Structure 1
Amino acid sequence: MIPILNLTRQYEQLKDKIDQALIRVAASGHYILGPEVSEFEREMASYLNVKHVIGCANGTDALYLALKALKIGAGHEVITSPFSYMATSESIARAGAKPVFVDIEPDTMNFDVQKLEAAITPHTKAILPVHIFGQAVNMDAVNRLAESHHLSVIEDCAQAIGSEYKAQKVGGLGDIGCFSFFPSKNLGAFGDGGMCTTNQDDLAERLRMLRVHGSRKRYYHEEPGLNSRLDEIQAAILRIKLPHIDEWNHARQAVANHYDALLKPLADVLQTPYRSPDSQHVFHQYTIQLKGPNPAQLRATLQQQLQEAQVQSMIYYPVPLYAQQTHADLNLNKVDYPVCEAVSDRVLSLPMFPELRLDEQEQVVNTLAQALKGTPIHA
């Protein structure tokens, strides 16, 4: 089986260092918000060129903490993308605010910045761009609009660590950046983990307070917060991995480029991922779009044939956020999101990880070609 992701190959590369780090933390007797977390926050701040990094329990909490730090809640609206994982809009609702979706661009699959202004109302408090699949949103357009309407900007960077927009890393392009270290991410822990980033001292102080039950001083609580702390074991593992993130992202880009070349003979039946000239795409996923009059049916057949040939594929995302039962109370209509509707029927993600071998990629593409054209295209 060629999996969508293989985590053990990465572990084998770093096994000795990771094992030593685990033993070091176990022997320290300090497991929550200790020296490993502090050093990781410092090292990550240097890598991203941001002033503050605040570790937390997971990427979903990072989004929620960001919203709460900006005092966004009941009666407020936050504009975001409908083409993302549930955590994005769920966090807005969890904070008591209303998620407002704008349709996406057909090529980048990020939200369409040209449609943002029409979605702004007197209740809008923030814009929450999602750098989907590792490609940065047009942040110049987002920030210009936010500034002109006095809105906050929260970046969802869960899939995009190391990605750049005009030579600046994501996470420092808005008021707060939110990251996930779920094991499948480009920088993944051995469990859940997340962080917020900001260049504003007051927001950093609020984020640190909110992640420990709304407390600056132990047993003195100013407002409802969370128990959302990055633990020492995850921080130690992430510290081992962080120096390799650029190397791994470059390897992902090489895998993507090789896929592009292999898939050229199938250009009439599928579209390979678009690269924005302003963004350094880090390919958390390599997602193709199928062409034709009934792409969803074709995709179902194709996935079955891939599975039979021992090639794993995934659909990110089959159900847009506006169509999720969670948001049924919003009474949203899919006709208002035609691009997202079409893209959700067409997308298919292929195996993507830094250690994916060339022969494995050729097997993936030959299987695709066999299913789509009836014959392999590469020897």
Structure 2
Amino acid sequence: MSGQAIPFLDVGGMVEMLREDLDVAWKAVLSHGRFVGGPEVEVFEARFAEYCETASCVSVGNGTDALELILAAAGIGPGDEVIVPANTFVATAEAVCAVGARPRFVDVQPDTLEVDPDAVAAAVGPRTAAVVAVHLFGQMADVDRLVPLTQRHGLALIEDAAQAHGARFGGHRAGSVGLAAAFSFYPGKNLGALGDGGAVVSRDEQLIGRVRQLANHGRAVDRRHVHELRGRNSRMDTLQAAFLTAKLTYLDTDNQLRRALMRRYREGLPPGCRPLTQDPRSEPVHHLAVVRTADRDRAIAALDAAGIGWGLHYPVPCHRQPAFAEFADGPLPVAEEAAEQILSLPMSPNLWAEQVQRICAVLRQVAA
């Protein structure tokens, strides 16, 4: 065990754990041959909406499409500003730009690295149309403060829940708080497809209907050959819907395993590798196990020498990315400092407790 490599994420191993269930799903779709728009899509949408404790779900091609479709369906576009935390995957900002709006980057809280509600409040201006609450690394943003803030200013609160399947904050499930929420089912997510996939969930049936129409070429609900909107093709394959329904059964159990592993990290890591703070109101799902360390290069070298995988999420904040440089309004010191220190350690439901102990032991040698 001590000399075996530990991958950052063993997607193949996670799939193998559910091989029998996935084989059943595969055979069911093969038997009817409706590979786009098959009955499994409707089943998944209903079950995922129920899981998220909201009214409706539209499955789409990927998580980035989900964000863009929410913005478009909400009527957000040229001339509008959307407030976005700087330390998120670029897809959040890409979606804003794709509808012609301007991303307004703000800083994050130093302990959790979730979007800072005070920074959001300070960034609201006459053109602000929405705030994207990114539930980063599997912990929800402070929706207790963001909900009244956005309501007070008449803004749409959109949840980027791509890393937060099953997370809670103050009793509220990710996806049930804002106007709508976007999920990604990229294979490495807590609920991952065997390919790309995404979903929009919302209590607003009118918005859900518009998202569904936009994602299906703008086609009229009752007239197949009439296209009322300039839409796009962003539909989830039937196979992916079948696989996701099979995997959804195990999501809560897998998330509990992630929590147990994160507790072991907190107990075993040295002071020089500090896990991000968990808000006491929050029930995270630990999509990623992120620590901060002053000497990241040394920690990485030690992990490499021990055959232990690692990741960086994200070493370049969005406002410092060349693609979004024109939207940088100034320095964002918390996100910038964190970008130099963050390090993602292995985390998945098929990680062993003994492997976490070994990872901690390696880091104790270099970051005491």
TM-score, L = length of structure 1:
0.93
- Kindly indicate whether residue 296 of structure 2 is the aligned counterpart of residue 299 of structure 1: yes
Task: Tell me the alpha carbon deviations over residues 118-173 of structure 1, each in whole angstroms, 9 at most, x when there is no partner.
Answer: 10111110010100001111112111111111111110000001001111111010
Q: CA deviation at 1:91?
A: 0.5
Q: How many residue pairs end up in the alignment?
A: 362
CA distance in 2, matches of 1:12, 1:135: 27
Asked whether the 8 Å contact 1:323–1:332 carries over to 2, the reply is no
Q: CA deviation at 1:102?
A: 1.1
User: 1:344 aligns to what?
Assistant: 339
> Where do 1:293-372 residues align within 5 Å?
295=294, 298-333=295-330, 335=331, 337-372=332-367
> Where do 1:40-59 residues align within 5 Å?
40-59=44-63
CA distance in 1, matches of 2:234, 2:122: 35
- In the alignment, structure 2 segments of 5+ residues that lack a partner are none
Q: CA deviation at 1:331?
A: 4.4
Q: CA deviation at 1:116?
A: 1.3
What RMSD over aligned residues (CA atoms) do the two structures have, in Å?
1.1
- Kindly indicate whether residue 118 of structure 2 is the aligned counterpart of residue 114 of structure 1: yes
User: 2:214 aligns to what?
Assistant: 210
- Kindly indicate whether residue 279 of structure 2 is the aligned counterpart of residue 276 of structure 1: yes
- Kindly indicate whether residue 28 of structure 2 is the aligned counterpart of residue 31 of structure 1: no
Q: CA deviation at 1:330?
A: 2.2
Task: Tell me the alpha carbon deviations over residues 267-292 of structure 1, each in whole angstroms, 9 at most, x when there is no partner.
Answer: 1x2212211111101100010111xx
Counterpart of 1:89 in structure 2: which amino acid?
A
CA distance in 2, matches of 1:272, 1:48: 27
Asked whether the 8 Å contact 1:306–1:367 carries over to 2, the reply is yes
Percent of aligned pairs with the same amino acid: 36
Q: Runs of at least 4 residues of structure 1 off by over 4 A?
A: none
CA distance in 2, matches of 1:80, 1:188: 24
User: Which stretch of the first structure deviates more once superposed, 144-153 or 324-333?
Assistant: 324-333
Counterpart of 2:298 in structure 1: which amino acid?
T
- Kindly indicate whether residue 94 of structure 2 is the aligned counterpart of residue 97 of structure 1: no
Q: CA deviation at 1:226?
A: 1.5
CA distance in 2, matches of 1:140, 1:302: 36
Counterpart of 1:25 in structure 2: which amino acid?
V
TM-score, L = length of structure 2:
0.96
Q: CA deviation at 1:201?
A: 1.4
Task: Tell me the alpha carbon deviations over residues 182-231 of structure 1, each in whole angstroms, 9 at most, x when there is no partner.
Answer: 00000000000000001011101101101101112322112221200011
Asked whether the 8 Å contact 2:78–2:99 carries over to 1, the reply is yes
User: 1:64 aligns to what?
Assistant: 68
User: 1:289 aligns to what?
Assistant: 292
Q: 1:28 to 1:94 in 2, by over 3 A?
A: same
Counterpart of 2:320 in structure 1: which amino acid?
A
User: Which stretch of the first structure deviates more once superposed, 228-237 or 324-333?
Assistant: 324-333
Asked whether the 8 Å contact 2:144–2:170 carries over to 1, the reply is no
Give secondary structure in 2 for the equivalent of 1:105.
coil
**Residue 85 of structure 1: which of 72, 82, 89 is its match?**
89
User: 2:170 aligns to what?
Assistant: 166
Give secondary structure in 2 for the equivalent of 1:80.
strand
Q: CA deviation at 1:364?
A: 0.9
CA distance in 1, matches of 2:144, 2:306: 44
Q: CA deviation at 1:329?
A: 2.1
Asked whether the 8 Å contact 2:264–2:357 carries over to 1, the reply is no
